[in-house]
Structure 1
């Protein structure tokens, strides 16, 4: 393929299409795994696609040339609270060619039959998989070359007009499916070879499972599917914050169900989506990660953390506690291209009660942060966290909350960007070890006139007799967080500053933008006060 770099450093290239119906992307890469292992990973979509909720093979029968045909039903999560999720009925054909190459082809069935569960069908919109699949060619000396093609029709007509760019963008499909698959295979290959080393002596598979559980729990909260036990609580359609409750939600770990936590009431989720303008998602999420005290309430964190302790009914974490404002970020691991970070956050707290003065009130959060590279095309940015016991057990129950910021690129803007879409994009530029560099430093015009959709979801355990109280607290807290995020976004947005000043500041330094904004605002207040004094004299 044009643009492919030969040799051991060759990683992969991807291209997107805008001249076809629907959205489409393709990728090619070299991976040090055998074709059969790669096909096994790619066909297990929930293991590598964070958007895949479920995939079931309903029947399988042999085809000619030793191949197989499978009838597959799959469900994907909706990325926001503003649109329904998607589901697919497809036929998947797998066979081996004479040269040893392995081929997997997939396409949707015609018709619009309901899914296996008629009760859950109303929460999904049937989407279409156009001819897609994988070609995996073995290489001499080991390893394989993978060709991936994804081509979908996501039925953009079914979502609000403001969100349609998200369902009409090939860049988004490239990031969420095509590149995600290639990255995951490369991650598994490096872990298999022993090249990946993580902190705290944890095995890579354990940390990867933590990341997947955080992401899936956050997606479950955003979507609130009925067949998972979620129901909307007293919503008349006018509320800005949606309250959903789940009385049957399980906190058991897959490895140790005996470690499950049970609550007399269940779990409550407060969630909302809003539109942001003139702020890069990567900049906003990076600021939220590094400055938690700007938007979070320590006592709410303490409430959720205390609820994780089995047998705790009095929630001792709610005793009067002072948050020092200090947070310590302890890295656990990261993906090989640094597009996702897994870390433990320690929030330092001290009790106001004299007898508890020497008792630690620190709170620990397990957190994933992704999409903080401003140069990643079409990538969303996320900050998802959950309280965790300080002992950090492998089977710890998780109750994830967090933020997701998705850029909305219009179809017309993608068409105008013909230079980018017509050339082959090389992924090797983002593989250097260490933090990603901002090649566009000093150019704030990239943030101008951009739109993003921010989705917030926070989960809280509750007891039956306190459900209404917890619901009121959750709604007020999420509204407070939204207000704080809006304030932060306005402060770090280049459009909120004088253009002459904004053009000299790097969008990669939100602290500088915030400081400049506050200085200018303070100066205006002082100037107004002096004018008032002068007039009085």
Structure 2
């Protein structure tokens, strides 16, 4: 109990730590509490501080300084083991999630190889066997073939126009966008080629791949972050916070859907890649929905006459570009965190710039660096800041300073 001087008084039975067979020292509960309090203030006290601790704390009066030193050494060792165990458990969860990610990627690549083998065999058969269609040059055959194609897919030639105020029509476009995006994120709709130097691992940024032989330019990324899916979706939808080339984003209309999702009509402007070209703008539909396995999907595409949707008015001094089915697939991981698939597929209308500048607008690697990988790095940075794992420095900035620098750079580019 506390005395009039504010010190702890030790009972006669607990005056000194008890020796167990001359080897181990057993401390009383009061002594352990006093030592834990001192450890919280200074985990590695000096010899003078240990002696002062013995003088100031009555319950430690009969404890030798050597025993106090050994107790602090053991306490630091236990703390180090606890941190190491926690770190290994975290790494184990990351490795398990990364293993699942790589297995899914392996399955996708096997499907892609099977499709390529089938296409190769089909082309060989076409080359070695004469085709009736190529030898028949009659007008009747050509007309019949054209009519047959038009009957098979009349919607491609004359897509039905959907009303922007009609949720059912926009939901049909959204569901089509979702299906096409999923085929790119986890399927074989696009032949992805992994970028050089992107090695998968628990602490890597992720697996970054670019398009090969597809319309427009496309990039794909997948990785792990220690944030919940809803938080990841919130960050990704705030494109102005992580996409440096984003000049303006306006959500013009929000329509709730019957399945618990939302449809948003968005107008976005981006800065030009060079001062010798005009900036781009986009008129898109963004669809947010949940899947049966608990995953969140945010998919997006441009609304044009070819897709059957209402196209927005054009803005002077801007070139209208197109977002092909793109988006984010966010899956929850066992033990916390999320697995993210990012697909960016755009047509920047490269024919509108001088020929010498077209490689900038036709390079999927530039898209991957500026947009796809930037989104994944931004999420990982926020995840590290939330867990307190990121030391500032080496080019890393706190969130407030990072946001201020982005706004300042945009102000400079506007002039």
Larger radius of gyration: 2
**Richer in strand (by share):** 1
**Richer in helix (by share):** 2
The two structures have a TM-score, normalised by structure 1, of 0.38
